[in-house]
Structure 1
Amino acid sequence: MVEIIYKEIHEFKRKDLKDLFLSVEWSSGHFPEKLQIAMKNFETVISAWDGEKLVGMICAMDDGIMTAYVHYLLVNPEYQDMGIGKHLVDEVKDIYNDYLRIVVIGYDEEIGFYESCGFEKADDASPLFITDLWT
C-alpha cells in the first residue's frame, strides 16, 4: 500500500515539477524554472509525496479575504483514483473556509470530479484565456 505524505512547502526541485507536470501532459512542465518561481509566489501550495516522489499538488492564490483561486490541481496518472486530488481540494477548502468563494476552472472532463468536491458549475459564466503570449 502506498503511503502519501502531504506537505505545505514552496521549494521544489526543477526535475520534480517537470516530471509531475509532464505526467499529465501540461505544457508548463517544459518550463520548470518558471514553475519553481511560481510555487514560491503562490499563497497556498500543498503537495503530495510518495517517499521522495512528487505525485500531486494544488496551488491557490487569493485576495486575502473574499476569493481564492485554485490555479493548479494535478495528480500523476499513476496515482489517480486514490483520493489524492480530493484530499488536496479538501485541504484548500479548510484553509479558505472563511472566504466567500473558491474558484476553479475545470475542463469538461474534470467537471464531475470538481462537482464531487462541492463545486458548482456556473450557468452564466465561461472561462476566458490568453495562452499564446510568447508566440
Structure 2
Amino acid sequence: MKEHVTALIANQNLRLAPMKVGYRKRESNYCPLREEGEYQLITYTFEKTDLTKEGIEQLFQSVEWESASYPEDLYQAIMNSHSVATAWDGDRLVGLANALSDDSMAVYFHYVLTDPAYQGCGIGKTIMNMMLDRYEDMHTKVLVSYPKAVGFYETLGFQPEQTSTPMYVFSR
C-alpha cells in the first residue's frame, strides 16, 4: 500500500497547489470556506470509531440522497463495509467513501460523497485515491456514477464499461 496520496489545497487566490497528505492515521490538508475566506483543517482516516448515525445521516442529507431517510440501515451499511475512508472538519463528517469487497478479486465503491459546502477542495479525490491505493491489487474496481460525476471518476482512471449495464432490484 502506498503511504501517501497527493491532495490539493487552495491558496488565498484559490489557485491549486500540490500537497502530500498521508492517511495511515489522521492526516490533513486545508480547505477554504468560500463564504468566509478562511481555511478549515480537513483530516482523513480509515478508522470508523468516530462515525455516528447522526453524522452519517447529516452528510447524506447534505447531498439530498434518499439513503438518509433510513438512518439506522445506512449506519449499519457503513459500519459493515469492508472499509470506509472519511474526511473531517473537526468533529464534522464532510466526506465519505465506502467499499464492499471479496478481498481477493473485486471491490465495489458504493457511496462516495462530499458535503456541498466542501466540494472543490479535493476531498472526494483524496478519499477516492485512498481507496484506490488500498485496493490497488484488486483485479476489478467498480462503481456506479451519476451522469454529472462521470468526468470526475474518469480523472481517477475509471472508464464506462461498454459491454455491461448496471442493474438493480429495489425493495418490493
With normalisation by structure 2, the TM-score equals 0.74
Q: Give the CA RMSD over aligned residues.
A: 1.1
Q: Distance in 1 between matches of 2:75 and 2:146?
A: 24
Please name the residue that 2:63 is paired with: 24
More helix by percentage = 1
CA offset digits 1:36-80 (Å, max 9, x no partner): 211221011011000111001000011111110001100000011
- Unaligned runs of 5+ residues in structure 1 are none
Q: Distance in 2 between matches of 1:44 and 1:129?
A: 23
Please name the residue that 1:64 is paired with: 103
Identity of aligned residues (%): 36
Please name the residue that 2:40 is paired with: 2
State which of 136, 142, 158 in structure 2 corresponds to 1:119. Answer: 158
Aligned letter for 2:46?
A: E
CA offset digits 1:63-111 (Å, max 9, x no partner): 1111100011000000111100010110011101111111010111111
Please name the residue that 1:74 is paired with: 113
Q: Distance in 1 between matches of 2:67 and 2:82?
A: 19
Please name the residue that 1:130 is paired with: 169
Of 2-11 and 65-74, the range deviating more from structure 2? 2-11
Of 30-39 and 113-122, the range deviating more from structure 2? 30-39
**Superposed displacement of residue 2, structure 1:** 1.7
With normalisation by structure 1, the TM-score equals 0.93
More strand by percentage = 2
Q: Distance in 2 between matches of 1:83 and 1:27?
A: 24
- Unaligned runs of 5+ residues in structure 2 are 1-38
Q: Is the aligned partner of 1:86 residue 2:144?
A: no
- Aligned with 2:112: secondary structure? strand
Q: Distance in 2 between matches of 1:94 and 1:43?
A: 14
Rg larger for: 2
Q: Distance in 2 between matches of 1:123 and 1:31?
A: 33
